[in-house]
Amino acid sequence: MTSLTFRNIRMALQSIRGTKLRSALTMLGIIIGVASVITAVSLGEGVRRQVAGNVAIADKNTISVRPGKLVNRAPSGRITSVNYSAALGSRGLTDQDIQAIAKLESVKTALPLSTISSLAKNNDDKTFEGTVIGTGPDFQRLSGQKVTYGEFFTKDQTDRDVAIIGKTVAEELFQENVPIGQTVILRGHDFTVVGIFDTFTANAISGGGDLNRGIFIPYQKAKAISSNSASIYEILVEPRSTLEQAGKDITSAMKSTHGDQEDFSVLTQAETLQLAGKTLTALTSFVAGIAAISLIVGGIGIMNIMFVSVTERTREIGVRKSLGATNRQIYSQFLIEASIVSLVGGIIGVLVALSANFMFTIFTNLRPAATLPIIAFATLSSVAVGIIFGTAPAIKAARKDPIQSLRYE
């Protein structure tokens, strides 16, 4: 039996080689199906990982305080439902909140993240549309982001006109890699560039926007140049005690400053990640579902061609039967042929998906992650498609009457 299966595989390869163009066109459906499923899923997985490393504006051991009641919790603290639109109507966070949190026994650092709207200019009046972020000296430590050139501002420099810029800013505004010492003008104030961040991996959720286009200045300065209109979109808290204890303390402290209204969210990084993950999973499976339809269409293509092939090879089937092939052997021959077409299509599809992912990595800041389970699953499902859609033609082949088949022209 093993030698028979091996013979069938050999036969199938011979037959595929014999009808190259047709087999290639048949495979195309499977190739597109598998490639799109893998690309969709690996993009989703990639974004999820980026979010993980990044919402995660890094340290897992921190707490984010955000405006708006984003989640409902059960008494145990478990998140029961999510409401993203809550952020829209709520009032932002204030200096009061920062002070209230910073005062707490269980809190080590409370770091504001605020934005002001401003065009950035250089000395030659060249403009750049970036995100101006006012923050504290602990930002670099808590974000874990490396400063490639220069240094982040220190505690003593919070009253100075200094800026640390993202890589894109360096490249587009100054057209050089290390514009340290150059001047960037924000709302008419000159800031000296003292550091350039390493590339931030894509930033799908956190704060919104691409941090590579960020210009980081001290929070005090941001307030000063925007006449106190710097809105705080997040307070990053480094706890002194456990995350749970700090979370509870922050919630109660914030409630008292907000007039007992819980119009804010206190989320650990793990929870933020979980929220982002939930949405992404839903989105990814939606896109993958659409891609899977093309896999099914590819399967129908295989079925079509196999039916044609069975009819065309009626005489061959007759000859094989006259030589002693059982119905079962004919059946498995055609089934294996269909499976091989789809398996080869699947493998090519994987290669196409991997090169598509590579393109994404080069030309966008998305980092698709085609994990082994995804690839294995897609390849197996391509074989499954071949088996499912190859069955009907194989049955048709097996049931052919040898006498009629031998007469077939």
Partner 1 sequence: MPARQLRRAKARVTKNTADSDAASVIELTNVSKIYGFGNATTVALDEITLTIKKGEFVAIMGPSGSGKSSLLNVIGLLDRPTHGTYLLSNRVVSRLRPHKLAKARRDHIGFIFQSFNLLPRLTALDNVALPLAYRGITLTKRLKQASAALEQVGLGPREYFLPKNLSGGEAQRVAIARALIGNPSLIIADEPTGNLDSGSSKVVMELLADLHAKGATILMVTHNPELTRYATRVLYMVDGVVVHDEQTKIGEIPARARSGGREEPKSDEEEQLEGISLYMQAIPAKAAPGRKPLQKKRAKAARKPKTAKPKTARRTRKVQ
Residues within the interface to partner 1 (CB under 8 A):
1, 3-4, 6-7, 14-15, 18, 315-316, 318-329, 402-403, 406
Helix (H, G, I), strand (E, B) or coil at 264: strand
Rounded CA gap, 151 and 193, in Å?
10
Least distance from C-beta 289 to partner 1, angstroms? 40
Least distance from C-beta 404 to partner 1, angstroms? 10
Rg over alpha carbons for the chain, rounded to the nearest Å, is 31
Rounded CA gap, 174 and 172, in Å?
6
Q: Which is nearer to partner 1, 95 or 316 (CB)?
A: 316
Least distance from C-beta 19 to partner 1, angstroms? 9
The kind and range of the H/E element at 407 are: helix 402-407
Least distance from C-beta 311 to partner 1, angstroms? 16
Closest CA to 278 of 51, 21, 3: 51
Least distance from C-beta 326 to partner 1, angstroms? 4
Q: Which is nearer to partner 1, 318 or 390 (CB)?
A: 318
DSSP notation for 107-162? EEEEEEEEEE---EE-TT--EE--EEEEE-TTHHHHHT--EEEE----GGGTTS-E
Q: What are phi and psi of 209, to 5 degrees?
A: 85, 165
Rounded CA gap, 343 and 320, in Å?
25
Q: Which is nearer to partner 1, 177 or 322 (CB)?
A: 322
Closest CA to 209 of 144, 90, 277, 113: 113
Per-residue exposure over 162-195, b if at least 16 CB sit within 10 Å of its own CB, e if not: bbbbbbbbbebbbeeeebbebebbbbeeebebbb
Supply angle C-alpha 43, 49, 51, rounded to 5. 105
Rounded CA gap, 31 and 382, in Å?
9
Least distance from C-beta 310 to partner 1, angstroms? 15
Q: Which is nearer to partner 1, 221 or 321 (CB)?
A: 321
Least distance from C-beta 29 to partner 1, angstroms? 24
Least distance from C-beta 400 to partner 1, angstroms? 12
Least distance from C-beta 401 to partner 1, angstroms? 9
Q: What are phi and psi of 231, to 5 degrees?
A: -95, 135
Q: Which is nearer to partner 1, 185 or 406 (CB)?
A: 406
Q: Which is nearer to partner 1, 213 or 320 (CB)?
A: 320
Q: Which is nearer to partner 1, 172 or 316 (CB)?
A: 316
Q: Which is nearer to partner 1, 15 or 122 (CB)?
A: 15
Single-letter residue type at 405: S
Q: Which is nearer to partner 1, 352 or 406 (CB)?
A: 406
Residue for token digits 């005690």? 241
Contact predicate 236/62, CB 8 Å: yes
Contact predicate 405/325, CB 8 Å: no
Q: Which is nearer to partner 1, 367 or 400 (CB)?
A: 400
Give Cβ neighbours of residue 316 (< 8 Å, ≥ 6 apart).
Answer: none
Rounded CA gap, 251 and 293, in Å?
47
Least distance from C-beta 14 to partner 1, angstroms? 6
Establish how many alpha carbons lie within 13 A of residue 181's alpha carbon, considering only the half-sphere containing its beta carbon.
1
Which tokens in the block code for residue 395? 């049955």
Q: Which is nearer to partner 1, 270 or 406 (CB)?
A: 406
Least distance from C-beta 336 to partner 1, angstroms? 14
